[in-house]
Structures are given as structure tokens and as C-alpha cells.
Amino acid sequence: MIGGQRNPPPLSLLTPRLCPQSAKAMFLGGFIAMAGLTQLVCPLIGLISDNCTAALGRRRPFMLIGGSGGITFLMVQLYASNYRMWWLYSFAFTMAMISLNIIYSAMVGLVPDQVHDSQVGAANGIQAVLSVLGAVGGFAFFIFFLKGDPPSLDGVTEADEVAADQAIGGMYVLYIFLIASTICVSVITTTECR
């Protein structure tokens, strides 16, 4: 999870690229519903990681699995977005959300593993605040990155289309970099008892 933001670049920017304008609301609603449904994996992953006896520890294997899946499926999303393949994008979106929720579950499980019992409440509160700040900061960065002018395919010229592809591609590359770097830092610096 990157600072709490478990969604890739804003779906409202990508939906028009994948479907006709008349179906935009339906597609957007479907993606949001799918993002919500994929969160149901969290309790299952929490239960499995609580009982994990891997040599890497209880949480780190799930960070690596979720990170690898998240990066892979975000790359597939970028590809599908560029080639306007809504069915592939939908599949990759669902799998990326599952992967990012696996990371989230492992990260949430680290708090009680790493913090003294008397400080778990405060640590969870700090994690919640940082999660919200990460999501807000991520959205603010994307708005700044796009300079307040979301890319659209409604433009007449091919240059507009290329600019939209580059802006959205840049957001995916940044998001993939953030996932890779934060997973590496978390896995390397976390000490777990087996």
C-alpha cells in the first residue's frame, strides 16, 4: 500500500478511454464496486498470514506476493488502457486491487506484531492518519502532475491523444515505482519473529 492509496491513477480519467461516453457511468460504477469487493480478501489474507510459518516471517511473504502481483497487473492495466482493451483492463484492475489489498493486509498485521501491546492503539491511529494523508496526497499529486487539466480523448488531434497517453502512462510508472520502492524498504527493514 502506498501511503494508503490503494487505487491506481484516477478511474474517472481512464474510464472514457475504455468505453463509449454513454457507458462511462456504468463502467466507473463497476470499477468502484469491484474495488470494494476485492477488499473482502483482507480478512482471509490476515488469517492466513497470522498462521504463516515461512522463513521470511509472517507478513513479508504477503508483501512480496502482493507487490509482485500489483506491479504486474498495473503494467497490464497500462497496456490495456493504451490499446483500449476494456476486458483486459477490467481483469487487470481486479487482480491489481486484490494484490494491493494483500499488501494492505500484511502491513496492517505488522502493527500488532511490531508494537508493544500498550501502544497498539496509538500505532493504529497513526497508521490510519498516514493512510488518509497518503490517499489525499496521491490525489493532489495527480492533479498537480496533470496541471489541473485531465487528459481526455475527446480532443480532435492525435497530439491530444498522445499527450493523454503520456500523462496516464507517467502516473502508472510513478505508482509502480512507489509500490516497488516501499515494498523493498518494508521487507528489508522489518524484523519478524518466526
Cα separation, 158 vs 65, in Å, equals 39
User: Which pLDDT tens digit goes with each residue over 8-35?
Assistant: 456 666 666 677 777 778 888 888 899 9
pLDDT above 80 (res 147): no
HEC-encoded secondary structure of 9-43: CCHHHHHHHHCCHHHHHHHHHHHHHHHHHHCCHHH
Locate all alpha helices (DSSP H) within 19-149, ordered by sequence. Answer: 24-38, 41-50, 60-82, 86-114, 120-145
Q: Using pLDDT thresholds of 50, 70 and 90, give the confidence band for residue 2.
A: very low
- Indicate the length of the chain as a whole number: 194
Among 26, 156, 39, CA closest to 94 = 39
Picking from 115-119, 134-138, 156-160, 180-184, which range would have the lowest pLDDT averaged per residue? 156-160
**Domain spanning 11-189: which CATH class is it, in words?**
mainly alpha
Cα separation, 180 vs 67, in Å, equals 7
User: Which pLDDT tens digit goes with each residue over 121-132?
Assistant: 999 899 889 888
Cα separation, 5 vs 182, in Å, equals 13
pLDDT above 50 (res 5): no
Domain-by-domain residue ranges, the chain? 11-189
The pTM score is 0.83
Please report the pLDDT score of residue 48 as a whole number: 96
Contact 193, 57 (CB under 8 A): yes
Among 118, 117, 69, CA closest to 97 = 69
Rounded to the nearest integer, the mean pLDDT of the chain is 83
Q: Return all residues near 124 (Cβ < 8 A) that are at least 6 apart.
A: 111
